[in-house]
Structure 1
Amino acid sequence: MASPDLEYHLQLLHHLRTILVALGEAEQIPEESHTLFLERFDELLALLPQSPLDSQYLGQDLLCQVIQRYPQIAHLVPRDLLWFFAGDCLHYMPDEELDLYQTLEERRHEAGQKGEPFDWHLEKQLLGKAAEGGTH
């Protein structure tokens, strides 16, 4: 059984796949290459729960391809997926966003060390609000 963190990222991938399918149905892209891309995306969805580490490079490759091949939906790619797969995906995140995610990871690690629960979404909201407050 996948961890809650892994389940969350799988849900984000399924959501992104839904967007990709809709893009193909709108006939905004060449169908043949899009079908092959979706097949590789499905491979990632199948491999990730079985072997998260082995699927890391495939995830990086596919997310980078989503942004490069389909720039019209790049803004819809969940930022948590870019951070999760890391590597080349991090090139698509500005420094401020990388700092936010690094702080989140540090807080998660600290909570784990103390045996305390950690709510990624709540912490992300709190850090986001703190960042907004500091920029206005």
Structure 2
Amino acid sequence: MASAQLDYHLHLLQHLRTILAALGEAEQVPEESHALFLERFDELLTLLPKDPLESQYLGQDLICQVIQRYPQIAHLVPRDLLWFFGGDCLHFMPDEELDLYQTLEERRYQAEQNGEAFDWHQQKRLLAQPDEGSQH
């Protein structure tokens, strides 16, 4: 289960890496500092599968830097990455979104405790829907 969750977040990071690389190719950012930033990002991609806990601070730092250094793509940073790395990344999430992710984590934990399968995406969609039918 934890491996699937880690793989999912690695996939999101790879996608974000592709976006960052495209910024450099489009010459929308200073080339030298951008190349160094991409090297650090690649370091995260290498370290995260080997030692997820030790990589948390690097991940927090880099995700926060993406938002601060590249505001033109801040809206493209997957929200799941902000939650996954936590720490300072959570400052970029409104309270309602933090509540949603906290509920998701609680449901995921409960499913794990009960030995049940948990579909993060399905539960996220269900929680994000307005409660239309609950006013009977």
Q: Give 1:1-136 correspondences, 5 Å limit.
A: 3-130=3-130
Deviating more after overlay: 88-97 vs 125-134: 125-134
TM-score, normalization: structure 2?
Answer: 0.94
Aligned counterparts of 2:132 and 2:24: Cα–Cα separation in 1:
36
Q: For 1:83 and 1:131, how far apart are their aligned partners in 2? A: 24
Residue 131 of structure 1 and its aligned partner are, at CA, apart by 6.2
- Per the alignment, do residues 131 and 94 of structure 1 end up closer, same or farther by CA in structure 2, a change over 3 Å counting? farther
Deviation at 1:132, TM superposition (A): 8.4
5+ long unaligned stretches in structure 1: none
Runs of 4+ in 1 over 6 A off after TM superposition: 131-134
- Aligned-pair identity (%): 79
Distance 1:79 1:132 in 2: 25
Distance in 1 (CA, whole Å) between partners of 2:18 and 2:98 is 26
Unaligned runs of 5+ residues in structure 2 are none
Pairwise CA distance, 1:130: 3.3
- Which stretch has the larger CA shift, 109-118 or 56-65? 109-118
Separation (CA, whole Å) in 2 of partners of 1:34 and 1:41: 10
Query: How many residue pairs are counted as aligned between the two chains?
Result: 133
Report the aligned-residue RMSD: 1.6
